[in-house]
Amino acid sequence: MTVKQLLGLRIKELRTKIKLTQAQLAEKVGIDPKHQSCIENGKNFPSADLLDKYAKIFNLDICVLLELKHNQPREVLENYIHEKIRSCCDEDLKIIYRIISAVLT
């Protein structure tokens, strides 16, 4: 996936989390809804000014807005998790097990 696509997915994720439509978010940041759609679909890249506006709307620091790693394809995430688990000590593995069990129940 390209950076534009990952950022588009991130913005869509944050938009849906606060229950806004593309048109509503576009209005709040002052862009055309078609441009908003192109950003979320990874066709257009938002300007720095627009990124600032998104951060304010989502009530996030710009660095948090730009966290894209978790939007990787499932296979990439699985490989990353497996790699990290393989490098854990026994105590860390027990903690991870408890966290996963708590999240999935």
**9, 65 contact by CB (below 8 A):** no
Looking at the structure, tell me whether residues 12 and 46 fall in a common domain.
yes
Give the pTM. 0.69
Q: What gap in Å lies between CA 43 and CA 36, rounded to an integer?
A: 10
Instruction: Kindly state the average pLDDT of the residues 94-105.
Output: 91
Looking at the structure, tell me whether residues 26 and 39 fall in a common domain.
yes
pLDDT band for 105, please (50, 70, 90 cuts): confident
Range of the domain at 96: 73-104
Q: Could you read off the pLDDT of 39-93 as tens digits, one per residue?
A: 999 999 999 999 999 999 999 999 989 988 776 778 877 888 898 899 999 999 9
Predicted local distance difference test score (pLDDT) of residue 90: 94
Looking at the structure, tell me whether residues 59 and 80 fall in a common domain.
no
Tally the domains of the chain: 2
Looking at the structure, tell me whether residues 65 and 77 fall in a common domain.
no
Looking at the structure, tell me whether residues 35 and 86 fall in a common domain.
no
Predicted local distance difference test score (pLDDT) of residue 74: 82
Looking at the structure, tell me whether residues 79 and 65 fall in a common domain.
no
Looking at the structure, tell me whether residues 15 and 46 fall in a common domain.
yes
